[in-house]
Amino acid sequence: MLAYANPGRFLRIARRLTPWTLGAAVLLLGVGLSLALFVAPPDYQQGEAARIMYVHVPAAWMALFVYVCMVAASVVAFVWKHPLADIAAKASAPIGAVFTGLALATGMLWGQPMWGTWWVWDARLTSVLILFFLYLGYIVLWGAIEEPTRAARAARILALIGAVNIPIIHFSVEWWNTLHQGATVFRLDGPTLSTSMLVPLLVMALAYNIFYAAVLLLRMRMEVSRRRLRTIRLGLEPALA
């Protein structure tokens, strides 16, 4: 990992990977949506309304995954002082916020016909809403502190504190009585979805993951360039050299 700590080497690799990852994400999104809309059968209970799960469920997975990546990057920055770790965490936050917002919005659209209400203050929904606010708070914190080193340290602390919410989200349907259904894919006894529904869901999940990687590389490139420009303007030695 330390071999890629040099921003110049990272930029060279990222420039090559970005178009390929973006292309793969667009292709997989097209395939996944086509399978979800035209191949997957309607749910025997929820009918056609269940098709929103192909957007909602992967977005909810990504909301958690991106935050876990931010926490991991924050730990790396604290322990090993990796010069790109804070940049990766900062670049991830807006992407995670979008995925979380998408999960909340599609969850409400799904919940209204299924539960008869747009929103309930149950454990799963409330903890995901808290996650959304954690993302927003992290973004605001970076913008509120002008000096990058201080901003990075404060953001790391917030990310690590917010990590407490991750297991709460994951186990909320088991720990508390909730309207939200339990796990249907990642179960010890295997998925409960049929193959015709599981395949489109996993294709969409893969598309979301690759899309995250593509946008992350793009945003990290922008942030490295922005910091280099700031260093030049201040007349200092390159902070990330």
7-229, which class in CATH?
A: mainly alpha
Q: What is the mean pLDDT of each run of 10 residues along the chain (241 residues)?
A: 67 93 97 94 78 93 97 95 92 98 93 80 91 98 91 96 94 69 57 81 96 97 87 63 47
Assess contact for 55 and 106: CB atoms under 8 A.
yes
pLDDT tens digit sequence for 187-203: 545 566 778 888 999 99
For residue 43, report the phi and psi dihedrals to the nearest 5 degrees. -70, 145
Give pLDDT, residue 177.
Answer: 64
pLDDT at 241: 47
Q: Is 30 left (phi over 0), alpha (psi -120 to 50) or beta?
A: alpha
| pLDDT (0 to 100) of residue 236 | 54
Quote the pLDDT of residue 233: 79
Domain residue limits, the chain: 7-229
Three-state SS string over the chain comes to: CHHHCCHHHHHHHHHHHHHHHHHHHHHHHHHHHHHHHHHCCCECCCEHHHHHHHHHHHHHHHHHHHHHHHHHHHHHHHHHCCCCHHHHHHHHHHHHHHHHHHHHHHHHHHHHHHHCCCCCCCHHHHHHHHHHHHHHHHHHHHHHCCCHHHHHHHHHHHHHHHCCHHHHHHHHHHHCCCCCCCCCCCCCCCCCCCHHHHHHHHHHHHHHHHHHHHHHHHHHHHHHHHHHHHHHHHCCCCCCC
